[in-house]
Amino acid sequence: MKFTIELDGSKRTVELTRVDGRFDCRIDGAALEADAIEIAPDLYSILIGGESFEVRVEPMQGSLRVYVAGQEYSATFHDSRAWLRKPGGALEFEGRQQVAAPMPGKIVRVLVKAGETIEAGQGLVVVEAMKMQNEVRSPKSGLIERILVSEGQSVNAGEVLAIVA
């Protein structure tokens, strides 16, 4: 996926490619080695070059407010599949989306079925990792096109769990 993000007035081209269950990230063509996981709604833990950052994201009118290391940034996406504000204030992705496992673990519950209509933020599956259960939620409203996992199945980080159209 390739998109342009405007961060406090400065435009950057970001390209994300899934490689072996992880993302290869390039910003303005330069490779960036990073690892990220959502630890709570709108709260992320990101590891860049051995340094850990806690990132909080808040939806704003037509953009996102991002807080990192005591700094506040305004981010706007320029892409057809980027975040889009829906009525009611929720932000969600557009277009067909693959929902991936955020960490390796075991599928303990599948909460939806193929063909089911869902809302953005609705739980799709529950993944158990390190004795904790994590609900994986839909990034958009739409129709469950496919569920690619079943209860009891082990998954790797980045493995596609479902496709939402």
Domain-ending residue, one of 73, 92, 111: 92
Q: Given this model, what pLDDT does residue 85 score?
A: 47
Collapsing DSSP to helix, strand or coil, 159 comes out as coil
Q: Given this model, what pLDDT does residue 141 score?
A: 87
113-119: which pairs have CB atoms within 8 A and are 24 or more residues apart? 113/144, 113/147, 114/144, 114/145, 114/146, 114/147, 115/143, 115/144, 116/143, 116/144, 117/142, 117/143, 117/144, 118/142, 118/143, 118/144, 118/164
Same domain, 111 and 72: no
Same domain, 47 and 11: yes
Cα 142 from chain centre? 16
Same domain, 150 and 73: no
pLDDT digits (tens, 9 = 90+) for 98-110: 888 888 999 999 9
Domain-ending residue, one of 92, 126, 148: 92
Q: Given this model, what pLDDT does residue 80 score?
A: 42
Same domain, 137 and 111: yes
Q: At 113, which CATH number?
A: 2.40.50.100
Same domain, 155 and 109: yes
Q: Given this model, what pLDDT does residue 97 score?
A: 85
Same domain, 65 and 38: yes
Same domain, 102 and 115: yes
Domain around 124: 97-164
**Residue 36 contacts by C-beta under 8 Å, 6 or more apart in sequence?**
44, 45, 46, 47
Same domain, 88 and 143: no
Same domain, 103 and 87: no
Same domain, 154 and 75: no
Domain-ending residue, one of 92, 119, 151: 92
Where the chain has pLDDT below 50, the residues are 80-91
**Residue 30 contacts by C-beta under 8 Å, 6 or more apart in sequence?**
none
Q: What total of structural domains would you count in the chain?
A: 2
Contact predicate 25/31, CB 8 Å = yes
Same domain, 104 and 156: yes
Same domain, 101 and 77: no
